[in-house]
Amino acid sequence: MSYNDLFIRACRKESVDRVPVWYMRQAGRYDPDYRKIKEKYSLLEICRQPELAAEVTLQPVKRLGVDAAILYSDIMNPVASIGIDFDIVPNVGPVIDNPIRSAGDVERLKPIDVEGDLSHVLETIRILDRELEVPLITFAGAPFTIASYLIEGRPSKSYIKTKTLMYSEPAIWYQLMDKLGDMVITYLRAHMAAGGKAFQLFDSWVGALSPNDFKRYVLPTIERIFDELSDLPQPKIYFPGVASGELLPVLGSIKADVIGLDWRVSIAEGRRRLGGAFAVQGNLDPYVLTAPMDVIEAYARDIINDGIKEPGYIFNLGHGLFPEASPDKLLGLTEFIHRYSEEAIARLGRKESHHV
C-alpha cells in the first residue's frame, strides 16, 4: 500500500476523493488488544517504552483502517519535565500531589528539557515515522487545560480553583500561561523534528470560559503558540474541546490550519462562526456510538454531507472515545465513512461539472 496523505490534504483544504477519518482516543480501553497490554503496564509505563508505545499507536490504525495515527501519550507527560509530579489514576485521570496555588509554585517551574527527560517520546515518534503509512498526529495539552489539572490537583467539573486563581491573581495566572506556552512550543517543535506529520493542541476544558474571559485569559497564549510554530510546514490543529461553540467566533486570529468542533454545533454553523479560514474536524457525539448501526450511519451521513460542502473536512468525534464503545461499531462507522464519502464526493463532482 502506498502512503495515504488524505488527512494532510484535507488539513490543507486540498481536494480529496474521500473524507479522511481518525478518532480522538482511538487507542484506549474500548480496544481489547489495548486492554491486554494494560493488564501488564500502566499508561506511563507504556509511554516510557517506545516500541510498546508505537505498537499501541498502531493498533487502531490496523484494526480500524483510519487515515491518521495519534501518538500514544498523555497531555500530562511533558509536565514531568517542568518539575511536576503526577500520576494518572485509572478511572479518575491526572492527579497531582502538590497542586500549583502560589507565585512560588509557578516560579519553581523549570523550562522543559525534551531531549533529556522525554527522549522516549521522540524515539516513539521516530519508530512510527518509519512504520506508518498514514500521517502521525502528535499533540500537546493547551495551557488552560493543563493548568486546570495543575491547579485543581485532579479532574474537576467546576474549575473553581482554576478560576479563583485566574480572577484573583492575574499576574500569577499569566506567568503560568507563559511557562506552559513555552513548554508546549518547545515540546511540539521537537515532535515535528522527530517525524510528526501534524499536531493537535487539545484544549479540552476551555469551553468552561465565556468568550470574553477566553479572549482575556487564554487566547493571547494560544495565538503565541501558533505564531511561534508557524514556520513549521506541518498542519496544525486547535481543538477547543467540549462546549466550545460560543468560542468559535473569537478564534479567527489563531494561525492554525484546522479547528476541531464538538457535537453541539453543526459543521455548517461551526464554519460560519469561524469565518471560513480554517479546515474543520469533527463532530459526531461519541455516545451516538451506543445507537444501532443504522442510526449511527444516519448521523454520520448528515455530518459528511455538511462537511464536504466546502474543502477542508476531516471526520472525527466531537470528543474522545469512551471505554464502553463497541470496536465492531467503530469499524462499521469507519468503513461507512470511507464508502459513503467517496460516493458523495463523486456525486458532488458530477453536479459541479454539470454547472460549468
Q: Please answer whether residues 129 and 193 qualify as being in contact, where contact means their C-beta atoms are separated by less than 8 angstroms.
A: no
Secondary structure E strands in 144-276: 198-202, 236-239, 258-260
The pattern of x and - marking residues 120 through 139 that bind ligand CP3 according to CB under 6 A reads -------------------x
Minimum CB separation of residue 69 from ligand CP3 in Å reads 9
**303 touches 267 (CB < 8 A):** yes
Q: Is 38 in the site for ligand CP3 (CB under 6 A)?
A: yes
**Residue of closest CB approach to ligand CP3:** 204
If one asks whether residue 261 binds ligand CP3 (CB under 6 A), the answer comes out as no
**Binding-site annotation: residue ranges for substrate:** 25-29, 74, 149, 204, 319
Query: Which listed range, 84-92, 128-136, 161-169, 176-184, lies at the site for ligand CP3 (CB under 6 A)?
Result: 84-92
- Interface with ligand CP3 (CB under 6 A), residue from 27, 151, 218, 333: 27
Shortest separation between residue 17's beta carbon and ligand CP3, angstroms: 26
Q: Is 90 in the site for ligand CP3 (CB under 6 A)?
A: yes
The dihedral built from the CA positions of residue 170, 171, 176 and 177, taken in this order, carries a sign that is positive
d(CA 17, CA 97): 50
Considering the complex, what minimum distance in angstroms separates the CB of residue 325 from ligand CP3? 12
The minimum distance between CB 89 and ligand CP3, in angstroms, equals: 7
CB of 276 to ligand CP3, least distance (A): 26
Question: CA-to-CA distance for 277 and 255, rounded, in angstroms?
Answer: 10
Residues 263-302 binding ligand CP3 (CB under 6 A) are none
- Print the binding letters for residues 49-78 with ligand CP3: x by CB under 6 A, - otherwise: ---------------------x-xxxx---
95 binding ligand CP3? (CB under 6 A): no
CB 345 within 8 A of CB 17: yes
Q: Does 94 bind ligand CP3 (CB under 6 A)?
A: yes
Assigned C-alpha cell, 104 = 512560588
For residue 310, the Cα-to-chain-centroid distance in whole angstroms is 22
* 16 lines the binding site for ligand CP3 (CB under 6 A): no
Rounded to an integer, what distance in angstroms lies between the CA atom of residue 99 and that of residue 204?
19
* SS3 call for 21: strand
What whole-number distance in Å separates Cα of residue 341 and Cα of residue 301?
A: 8
Q: How far apart are CA 30 and CA 33, in angstroms?
A: 9
Comparison of 181 and 241: residue with beta carbon closer to ligand CP3: 241
**Taking CB under 6 A as the rule, does residue 320 contact ligand CP3?**
yes
CB of 103 to ligand CP3, least distance (A): 26
Name 144's Cβ contacts closer than 8 Å, sequence gap at least 6: 162, 177, 203, 205, 206, 209, 217, 218
- Separation of alpha carbons 254 and 248, rounded Å: 11
Question: What residues make contact with ligand CP3 under the rule CB under 6 A?
Answer: 24-29, 38, 43, 70, 72-75, 88, 90-94, 139, 155, 202, 204, 320
